[in-house]
Amino acid sequence: MVILESHESWSLKVAGFLILFFAISDSHAQKFEWAKRFAGDNLSSPFSIKMNSSSELFLGGGFEKNISFGQMTLNSRGAADAFIARMDTTGNLLSVIQFSGSTYTFAKVDEIDSNDDLVVHGNFTGTLEVGDTTINPLPARDDQNFIAKFSRDGDLLWIRILDLDGAVYLGPVTIDRDDNIFAVYMTVDGNDRFLAIQKYNPDGLLLAEQALSETTDGRHILPTGIVITSGGEPLINLIGSGDLRISDQEFPHDDGEYWSALTKLSADLDPEWTKIIFTAYVEPYTTGTGFAIDAANNIYITSAMNKVVLQKLDKDGEFQWGVSYNGNVQDVIWTYGITVDPAGSVYLCGSVNNNFELDGVAVSTTFDNSVAYVMKFDRIGQAQWVKQSNHGFNDGLFFVQSPSGSIYFSGHCAGRTYFDAISLPDEKYGSDIFVTKLSDPTFVTPSIRLGDNIELCSGDVFTFHANGFISYEWSDGSNDSTFVANKPGEYFVRAMDYRGNQVTDTVKVSLCLDESIPNVITPNGDGLNQNFVIEGLDLSRSNELLIYDRWGKKIFETHSYQNDWDGQEHTAGIYFYRFKKATGDRDCKGFIHIIK
């Protein structure tokens, strides 16, 4: 297992990880810009938060009795209803979809596709009312599990109810680059557990289904996350206890041992590999709580076991680096959300009970309550900052990052809660939903500039640097972050950041000016050395050429030389020139011998 050595900090190697101790940036550089509280007369819970291409926010959640969004109040029709609220970037409500079943209803925004349509999954009992639409249940089913698609304005485009036996646990759900939908589900019937994945086209037509695991001894297994690689291959995070069996692979474990695993499927849903990532004798919900991939399909996975653990794996699940941050023995630390920005920085969100210290910056609570936090690491796992709520009882569950780097963060809140100086007063019931915007001045979108055009003299080389990206392609097909030029030419690089955005730049390398100016021309009509040609001259740029005879008389002047002077009208002999490429460049001086 590779151990990453830190060159700026003292480090302690522990079981393949680094316990790091070093100074990180002042968390006050980050700022909560606004915070909103959505509350009712009973329990309210967030389920997800997403952003579309127009930077509109979509908050999914549930509530009992009622919930208020400023001037709008929803009243539940069942024991608990669900909602999807569309908001602007200041948290103001634009529209809302309400889901109502006979008893408890759940609905979550999983993804937003390329048309800004919402991919949603959930469950209900009895009939489901979505706005003015009534969805009838399948017969002989207590719980109805569905996948649906809505327009950004809340119109129901289609809905599919899963016809499965036993108690069904649907999710997670995600999409690929072509907007195909992937849904993992598990059925439970006594001790029998069946885990499978389905693939739908963008219109909800079932394309394929693959069984992943089937047990009859009541072993605990639960899918917690799914992402799709750039090649359309599903990668699934599982947690559980006891033995794990995926397809024909068996992973023995003690009965009291909990684990987190990743399983990779092909684009056709055939299992390719499964690897155990974490093992611990802890409760299963605290093991393997979030993961993400970057544009090169590297895997970032986090866990919380009275500490924060973050690992980076390559696309084949092989360990690259890992870091661990300890809380106190009595602390309970949860990590729920994870994302990777264009520069390869990793963000986590979660909550901590009691106190927790991240490299000298304390995440502290009051009165034994919990606080919500967001923390940032650079692309090699070094902590950058941590930001937390204050007072109250807060649980940070979900976040989404805008293209400009702002973080929209949501979770539970109870009691008076502060985000910096922003106060959210206690509401009636006390278990409500918060949404807040956190700015990050340390966020950067990688850009590339190879520099100005340059000249090379004989024997010289020049090294171009294009650091900070995940992949590179130079004009000769090489893929390093640096490129060595040793001859004139035009060179370009195409670089891709950690989110798959591509940037390019081009630079021209010309021969050293002193070596590119000839000293002999033969304007005799044979087509050879006919003109005074300066090799590599950019004819589109301004320049200055002056030519003098041997007595110092100026015989030619131009400020836009086009390699077209042949001296035909002058006698053979020695002439002198002064050339300057552009204003501010040095003068080049020399002689021209006209031979006729």
Of 507, 502, 478, which Cα lies nearest the Cα of 491?
507
Residue pair 440/30 in contact (Cβ under 8 Å)? The answer is: yes
Please give the residue that has the higher pLDDT: either 67 or 588.
67
What's the pLDDT at 521?
94
Residue with the bigger pLDDT between 16 and 527: it is 527
Task: Find the range with the poorest average confidence among 11-25, 72-86, 115-129, 557-571.
Answer: 11-25
pLDDT attached to residue 287 = 45
Contact between 511 and 534 under an 8 Å Cβ cutoff? The reply is no
Predicted confidence (pLDDT) per residue in 382-401, tens digit? 888 888 888 666 777 899 99
Q: According to the model, what pLDDT value does residue 2 have?
A: 25
**Span 89-118, average pLDDT:** 96
Please tell me the distance from the alpha carbon of residue 526 to that of residue 473, in angstroms, as a whole number: 43
- The dihedral region occupied by 126, where left means phi > 0, alpha psi between -120 and 50, and beta the remainder, is left
Segment 304-316, tens digit of pLDDT: 656 678 899 999 9
- The contacts found for 401-406 with CB under 8 angstroms, 24 or more apart, are 401/339, 401/341, 401/347, 402/51, 402/55, 402/89, 403/55, 403/445, 404/443, 405/341, 405/439, 405/440, 405/443, 405/444, 405/445, 406/33, 406/89, 406/437, 406/438, 406/439, 406/440
DSSP 57: E
pLDDT digits (tens, 9 = 90+) for 358-374: 555 555 544 456 788 89
Give the residue among 268, 270, 263, 231 at the shortest CA–CA distance from 245: 263
d(CA 496, CA 345) in angstroms, rounded, equals 15
512 vs 302, higher pLDDT:
302
User: What pLDDT, in 10s, does the model give residues 258-286?
Assistant: 788 899 999 999 999 999 887 765 554 44
The CA-atom distances, in angstroms, between 97 and each of 35, 53, 455 are: 22, 19, 63
CA distance 506 to 520: 33
Which amino acid, one-letter code, is at 472? Y
Task: Indicate if the pLDDT at residue 40 is higher than 80.
Answer: yes
Tens of pLDDT, residues 579-595: 887 655 667 888 999 99
Tokens representing 174? 């995600």
**What pLDDT was estimated at residue 282?**
54
148 or 219, higher pLDDT? 148
Mean pLDDT of 128-143: 87
- Rounded to whole angstroms, the Cα distance separating 235 from 230 reads 11
Complete DSSP assignment for 360-398: TEEE--STT-EEEEEEEE-TTS-EEEEEE-BSSEEEEEE
What local confidence, expressed as pLDDT, does residue 461 receive? 84
What was the pLDDT predicted at 199? 97
Cβ-proximal residues to 467 (8 Å cutoff; 6+ apart), any chain:
481
* Segment of 14-23, 175-184, 307-316 carrying the highest mean pLDDT: 175-184
pLDDT (0 to 100) of residue 328:
53
Whole-number pLDDT of residue 192: 80
pLDDT of residue 284: 43
Determine which of 68-82, 272-286, 396-410 has the lowest per-residue pLDDT on average.
272-286
- Closest C-alpha to 419, from 396, 402, 441: 396
- pLDDT value of position 487: 86
- Which residues neighbour 32 within 8 Å (Cβ) at sequence distance 6 or greater? 387, 419, 420, 422, 436, 437, 438
Measured in whole angstroms, the distance separating CA 376 from the mean position of its chain's CA atoms is 13
- Retrieve residue 534's tokens: 């300066």
CA 537/CA 563 separation, integer angstroms: 8
d(CA 407, CA 399): 7
- Residue 322 is encoded by which pair of tokens? 């890992």
Mean pLDDT of 90-114: 95
Model confidence at 221: pLDDT above 50 = yes
pLDDT score of 105: 95
Burial 374-388 (b: 16+ CB within 10 A, else e): bbbbebebbbbbbbb
In 3D, which of 538, 559, 519 has the Cα closest to residue 454?
Answer: 538
Label residue 232 by pLDDT band (50, 70, 90).
very high
Structure token pair of residue 391: 């007072």
SS3 286: helix
Please give the sequence-ordered ranges of beta strands (E in DSSP) within 162-230, or none if there are none. Answer: 167-175, 181-189, 192-200, 206-215, 221-228
Tokens of 509: 């390398």
- CB-based contacts of 39: which residues, under 8 Å, 6+ apart? 67, 68, 427, 428, 429, 432, 433
All domains in the chain, ordered by first residue: 14-60+178-439 (2.120.10), 454-511 (no CATH), 517-594 (2.60.40)
pLDDT value of position 305: 57
Bridge partners, 14 (sequence order): 17
- For the cut 50, the answer to whether the pLDDT of residue 510 exceeds it is yes
Q: Who has greater pLDDT, 8 or 534?
A: 534
The CA distance from 181 to 147, in Å, is: 9
Q: Whose structure tokens read 């885990």?
A: 195
pLDDT confidence band for 329 (50 / 70 / 90): very low
What span, in angstroms and rounded, lies between the C-alpha atoms of 240 and 288? 10
Hey, what amino acid is at 276? I
pLDDT value at residue 369: 67
- Please compute the mean of the pLDDT values over residues 16-30 and round it to a whole number: 45
Indicate the average pLDDT of the chain. Answer: 84
DSSP labels, 504-553: EEEEEEEE-HHHHS-SEE--SSSSSS-S---TT--TTS--EEEEE-TTS-
Q: What is the pLDDT of residues 470-505, one digit of tens each?
A: 999 999 999 999 999 988 889 999 999 999 999 999
Higher-confidence residue: 576 or 455?
Answer: 576
